[in-house]
Amino acid sequence: MPQLAAIQMNSGADPLHNLQRAEQGVQQAAQQGAQLVLLPEMFLSLDGQRYPAIAADPQYVQIVAGWARQYKLWLVAGAVPMTSPDGDPRVRSASLVFNDQGELVARYDKIHLFDADVGDAHNRYRESERFAPGEELVVVDTPVGKLGLAICYDLRFPGLFQRLREQGAEIISIPAAFTYTTGEAHWQVLLRARAIETQCYVLAANQCGWHDDQRRTWGHSQIIDPWGQVLSELADEPGVVVAELNAELLVDVRRRMPLEQHKRC
């Protein structure tokens, strides 16, 4: 059966250091037989002041593409800062999908931006100050199934996931930097709900630990099957989580409870 993998990281400010850690995770996933691998949100850097420079430098995308080619796997480069195609001076948070030849085959720009006050040490999050929102949903064919793309705060908007299912998604990737406070309260229940509602595999890669003296993320990257069962989960340390994708289970769950046929609104 195909293997899925999610890489959990504790990214700091330095992109080159984070690249080294990310490649270690990709290599480890490849050694465990993963065919589709997901990196977390902003794995290159969690320092917002660096995002414009990262977006303007093509070397980062080229390096990540090289990993997909080198390790012969499909790689979802979590979310990285990318130039806005409409000329907006803000960057976009983009999830990039590379095939096993290192070719960029899909890009999803995060639609929902995290503007919230969560009561942690950082307190005030305003992604819209640095990021421009995307507009289009993306589902891409992969060797292990149709992959729908989402990013972090999108998780709180079930309509987006329903539309991904309507467009044929069988797996949904969710790279994240979910805060410790919101993650402890909501992360797993939201992930399981999205898996159950869409009858999809959910592949979730989160950041973890303290990133500076104010920002702390929850971790607990995991893989969930279409029945809502957590197949594999990490705690709050960097690492790689791997699980099998059972295509027969996905078909059986959808056959026994045909939600798409029953939908009336």
Quote the tokens at residue 172: 């949904």
Options 127, 152, 200, 208, the catalytic residue: 152
Is residue 110 part of the annotated active site? The answer reads yes
Distances from the Cα of 168 to the Cα of 70, 77, 114, angstroms? 29, 21, 27
Instruction: Map residue 68 onto helix, strand or coil.
Output: helix
Options 41, 127, 170, 233, the catalytic residue: 41
Residues in the chain: 265
Residues 209 and 219: beta-carbon distance below 8 Å: yes
Q: What amino acid occupies position 204?
A: A
Q: φ, ψ for residue 204 (rounded to 5)?
A: -120, 120
First to last CA, the chain: 35
For residue 79, what are the β-bridge partners? Answer: 41
Quote the tokens at residue 10: 């504790």
Residues 134 and 110: beta-carbon distance below 8 Å: yes
Instruction: Map residue 132 onto helix, strand or coil.
Output: coil
Is residue 208 part of the annotated active site? The answer reads no
Question: Taking phi first (over 0 means left), then psi (-120 to 50 degrees means alpha), and beta for anything else, what does residue 9 get?
Answer: beta
Is residue 41 part of the annotated active site? The answer reads yes
- Nearest partner of 4 among 61, 64, 93, 75, judged by Cα: 75
Q: How far is it, in rounded angstroms, from Cα 166 to Cα 156?
A: 18
Options 72, 103, 110, 146, the catalytic residue: 110
Q: What amino acid occupies position 239?
A: G
Q: How far is it, in rounded angstroms, from Cα 145 to Cα 148?
A: 10
What amino acid positions are annotated as catalytic residues? 41, 110, 152
